[in-house]
Amino acid sequence: MAATLTIGELARQADVAATTLRYYERIGLLHSPDRIGGQRRYDESILARLEVIRLCKAAGFALDEIQMLFADDEPGRLATRALAKTKLAEIDARIAELLRAREIIEWGMRCTCPSIDDCTCGIHNAKPVGKDTAHVPT
């Protein structure tokens, strides 16, 4: 018999609250597990599904969108592909924004001015072109 996990064991291993697992069951993201002596018993394979859910949430998918991803079994999965294309564009925009934030932080770390208010290298007034910006102190 395959190893099974109680809801508490699954919650710990997946780093998800037990109440979240129950909610995911209620809305259909997780299948209702078998019960032994009234206790939910999850197959260990559910950990992979929970990881997909976690990653989808981190990518900005709403729970109803994640449900759609799991439920879409139409040939070619056109609805899923359209949603994924939209999310990929959003992810690319977030990555660009984070790279910009990183660039500003790195630029600020090279600044030797006494304070941001007294900055003469223009860290908060100019948009750096790249890491090799000539007017930034090194």
DSSP string, 82-124: HHHHHHHHHHHHHHHHHHHHHHHHHHHHH--SS-STT-SS-TT
Domain locations in the chain as residue ranges? 4-71, 77-138
φ/ψ (deg, to 5) at 41: -130, 110
Per-residue confidence in pLDDT tens, the chain, 138 aa: 467 899 999 999 999 999 999 999 999 999 988 888 888 899 999 999 999 999 999 999 999 999 999 988 888 888 899 999 999 999 999 999 999 999 888 888 888 888 877 878 766 655 544 444 444 444
Topology of the domain covering 4-71: Multidrug-efflux Transporter Regulator; Chain: A; Domain 2 (1.10.1660)
Beta pairing, strands 34-36 & 39-43: antiparallel
pTM: 0.71
